[in-house]
Amino acid sequence: MAEIVMPQLGETVTEGTITKWFKQIGDVVVEDEILYEVSTDKVDSEVPATASGILTEIRVPEGVTVEVGTILAVVGAAGGPAAPAAAPVAAATAAPPPAPVAPVAPAQPMAVSAQDDEADLGTGDGRLLSPIVRRLAREHGVDLDTVEGTGVGGRLTRGDVQRAIDKGTPAEAAAPVAAAPAAPVAPAPAAAPPAAVARAAAPPVPATPVAPAAAAGPARSPAAPAGALPRGGQRVPLNRIRKLTGDHMVMSKATSAHTLTVMEADFEGVDRVRRARRDQWKAAEGFSLTYLPFIARAASDAIAEYPFMNASVGDGELIVHGEVNLGIAVDLSFEGLVAPVVRQADGKRLRAIAREIHDLAGRARSRQLRPDDVTGGTFTLTNPGQYGTMMQFPIINQPQVAILSTDGVRRKPWVVTDAHGAESIAIRPIGLLALAWDHRAFDGAYAAAFLDRLRDIIETRDWSAEVM
């Protein structure tokens, strides 16, 4: 007998919603074939079975949200008896079968079950909705029948609803608050955020006063009440992904002794190869050759010489990992970040790394990542340089001990030395490598030595051999 449990679909993800079962009780299940679909705030994923046999129990029906680690189903040995007369999977209001784990822990107010949302299991055209989608739509007054679904079979995802909200559907969702010329500014009633666990029948909750940032908008009149918004201001509720990301980042800052070390690197050798191979690469691979695969390749080799970079802090010990699994931070249309993992990057050349980064980033943005894609990272790269950043101080992705930010590469005057030691000024593509690291794991000399080796690899390697 094998238990199928809710997987960890990202470092900050704590729960997921079962949106579809592809097998029913009594069906034959083959390991690695798609068994169910799960929706989280970061990933909509079709999850493969972890064992072969007969599906004897389904403990969590479609439309129910449960925590990571919850037993979802049981797969018995082939030829073994199936569970007798199990309750229908879609019967969201039926009493749950006896099980050691309840579908939703009552102490978690954000874990909403199908029963919490009454009988609102779909739209007018019969599309299945997860509790996450229903809750977000209800909080912002979105008419789901007017929203086009981009999920499997046209299913509405959280991203679909969020885009409808961002487009101004409806007007009352975080509408700007107008100020009367001679009266204090007061928030519009519809802008008051709902309580985290309030239902439709609950009385309205007054808006929590929000103090505007000192540098944001015009100064408020001293006579204005404390809960007033500045002229033209608005209240925008934090969505769940922002809350989860915030919790994880605050936890990381409280856990690790964050320190920053930065070095400049000359990308002339990388740029020369990119310019020479640009068209050939694009024709062969179907995507552009950016700086990121070069840095990922160089970082993997540098980590091999400085293995403490590829570690996590345990109970009085440093756990050094045996292979380099590179997390690559991917932006999800400004709604949040996810860091899918290039596994065993230390054993791959540039072309293989570039292909994996492109594949993972594409599947992350289309919410098609699988559980194994977002777990097990040992070192993370984040790449805001596409926006021309000079430098940023990234926050470590726990439980790792370091994260590297690759910022914008700009052409600038640079001192170069020829083979005879003579110096001259040249215009070179120069970028910053910003390493945030955990001072519990090592000291500044070790971090600086790692960055120096990383810079040396970037500047001196014969990259043309890597893109042949």
Active-site residue (options: 44, 443, 452, 456): 443
Residue 28 CA from chain centroid, whole number: 33
Question: What is the crossing angle of helices 444-460 and 291-305, to 10°?
Answer: 130
Decide if 44 is catalytic.
no
Backbone angles phi, psi at 410, to 5 degrees: -125, 150
Q: Look up residue 373 and give its two tokens.
A: 């894609």
In whole angstroms, give the CA distance from residue 342 to residue 330: 12
In whole angstroms, give the CA distance from residue 230 to residue 92: 45
How many helices (H) does the chain have, and how many strands (E)?
Answer: 7, 18
Max Cα distance, the chain (Å): 85
Go through the chain and tell me how many residues it has. 468
Active-site residue (options: 32, 143, 439, 456): 439
- Count Cα neighbours of 107 within 13 Å in the Cβ-side half-sphere: 0
**Quick one: which of 236, 92, 84, 214 has its CA closest to 162?**
236
In whole angstroms, give the CA distance from residue 396 to residue 402: 6
Whether the Cβ atoms of residue 169 and residue 161 lie closer than 8 Å to each other:
no
Count CB atoms within 10 A of the CB of residue 284: 11
Whether the Cβ atoms of residue 342 and residue 325 lie closer than 8 Å to each other:
yes
**Quick one: which of 96, 97, 102, 82 has its CA closest to 24?**
82
Decide if 439 is catalytic.
yes
In whole angstroms, give the CA distance from residue 124 to residue 143: 10
- What DSSP designation does 389 have? -
Q: Look up residue 224 and give its two tokens.
A: 């204005």
Whether the Cβ atoms of residue 341 and residue 377 lie closer than 8 Å to each other:
yes
- What DSSP designation does 401 have? S
In whole angstroms, give the CA distance from residue 213 to residue 44: 35
Positions marked catalytic: 439, 443
